[in-house]
Amino acid sequence: MRQLVAILGHRTFGASRDAAFVAAVTATVLAISDGYPAWEIPALTLINVLVVLACGIATDLYDTSHPRVIAPPLQRMVRTLIWVLLTYLTVHFVTDGTPERRTIVYLWGSAVTAFTVGYALRAMALVWFQRRGMLRERLLIVGGDEQALMVANQIAHDHRLALEAVGVLDEFAPRSSLLGNVPVLGDPLELDAIIERTRATAVIVVANAISWEANEYVMQVAADRRELRVFMVAGVSDLLSSEVLAARDGLPPLVRLRPAQLKRSDAIVKRAIDVSVGVALLPLMVAVLAIARLTSRGSLTRKRQVLGRGGNVVSMRLLAYGPPGSLRSRLAGGRAGKLPALPAVLLGRLSLVGPRPLPATVPIEAVPWRRRLLLMAPGLTGPWDRDGSPSDSLLDDLTYIRTYTPWSDIRLLVASLGRLMTRQRAVPAVREVTNGASALHPNGIDAAFEPPTSR
């Protein structure tokens, strides 16, 4: 399997594969078009193919990780298409010819179509292989603290990553113990031998969870093993940054940490999802309120004050509990109990998907990483509502903010709606706190939070 991955991910194989798709589509488009002489079709097709091949090989755009990744890097496709267009214009300029608009449209359009069709077929093939346990990357996690557990949990829940955590290496945890569901295999200083034993192809290093001796040894292993992909979680600041970039501008090998931020385009798409899905759910909210009114008396909703975006206090309406065991109590304890908050979502004060709401009784100064947590409006669902367990960590929300994309909202929303239809019990919508709210753990773990008492 390693040999297959190396072949499929080799830069010449990837460029040749893309060039073959481009050649087939270009020749087809030109052949069915009128007005092109027989000699011009292969000539224009050859230009298209040579540009794609040269761009792919010369710029080293392909590596052994690509065969495992379903979504290709968009910048690679865009860069290649720009070079395709510029090459046509340059050829016409050098030959003193007049560029035909239809030729440019045909050739550039055929390249776009070829990339789209090629990567769609590639993605379907990868899904087929990965569902059968093939072409998946075997991952070791070095370090056994809370951040390592968060990484392991995120990998376990995101099947698109094509990663399989096979073990943890930790200096302090005993062998045969577990980090989440991942077994502890040994000490970081045994990394080289464990890689051979487990056939691991990637390593994630939680740098602040291991000693400097172990860090030095892991870096030596990374330098000696060309086929091994090594990722590093440098610390809590790394998790809370929006993006980790390679520092350039003539600097030594450094990484740059940028503060968490929500792009304007992402904010617009997120708001569009909230409005469109929120409006679609309004009839369901009306039906739930009608059922609650018919089955028991008393106030239909209860109001909770939570911290919204930027720390503003927001009123969050939830379905009120009824008599123990009643239908209303079952609805209130499930995800349907959050539907009365939809008007606040439509007004932009809450979001359908977001960090778990913090009660307004918690002093903002007592919330660790508050500026990051309050960057987004709190949500009715989110990564914290994934397993139906209230023992979530602030790190889950921070990771959601750091890695946010509209697709992550859609996936979480679809999963939550599916659980709504199966009437699974939900995590309480608002974090409950003890009187020691100011004693929140400084490393971002919500030590003062505890689940509400059962009703």
Single out the residue of 68, 62, 56 nearest to residue 123, CA to CA.
68
Q: Which has more confidence, 56 or 300?
A: 300
Question: 137-233 has which fold?
Answer: Rossmann fold (3.40.50)
| Percentage of the residues of the chain whose pLDDT score is greater than 90 | 15
At 285, the amino acid letter reads: M
Q: What is the pLDDT of residues 21-67, one digit of tens each?
A: 888 888 888 888 877 888 888 888 888 788 777 777 766 566 656 66
Structure tokens at 354: 């977001």
Distance CA 130, CA 161 (A): 10
- Give the pairing of strands 229-233 and 182-186: unpaired
Report pLDDT digits (tens) over 206-239: 888 888 888 889 888 888 887 788 888 766 655 5
Question: Is residue 367 within 8 Å of residue 440, measured between CB atoms?
Answer: yes
Half-sphere exposure of 416 (CA within 13 A, CB side): 28
Cα atoms in the Cβ-side hemisphere of radius 13 Å centred on 29: 22
Q: Mean pLDDT over residues 252-265, rounded? A: 70
DSSP run (H or E) holding 169: strand 163-169
Amino acid code (one letter) for 351: S
The Cα 137–Cα 201 span in angstroms is: 6
Average pLDDT over residues 427-451: 47
- Among the ranges given (167-181, 242-256, 302-316, 426-440), the one the predictor scored with the smallest mean pLDDT: 426-440
Q: What is the mean pLDDT of residues 328-335?
A: 84
Element (H, E) at 184: strand 182-186
Q: Is 250 left (phi over 0), alpha (psi -120 to 50) or beta?
A: left
Going from the C-alpha of 156 to that of each of 95, 180, 227, 239, 400, the distances in angstroms are 57, 10, 23, 18, 15
Instruction: Tell me the domain boundaries of the chain.
Output: 2-131, 137-233, 264-439
Identify the band that residue 283 occupies on the pLDDT scale cut at 50, 70 and 90: very high
Give kind and range of the element (H or E) at residue 186. strand 182-186
User: d(Cα 106, Cα 246) in Å, to the nearest integer?
Assistant: 37
What mean pLDDT comes out for the span 433-452?
38
Residue 18 Cα distances to 22, 113, 249, angstroms:
6, 11, 32
* Listed residue (418, 331, 347, 348) closest to 381, CA to CA: 418
Mean pLDDT, residues 162-177 taken together: 86
3-state secondary structure of 292: helix
The Cα 221–Cα 192 span in angstroms is 7
The C-alpha atoms of residue 182 and residue 189 are separated, in whole angstroms, by 19
pLDDT tens-digit series, residues 345-383: 999 999 999 988 888 887 777 666 677 778 889 999 888
Helix (H, G, I), strand (E, B) or coil at 337: helix
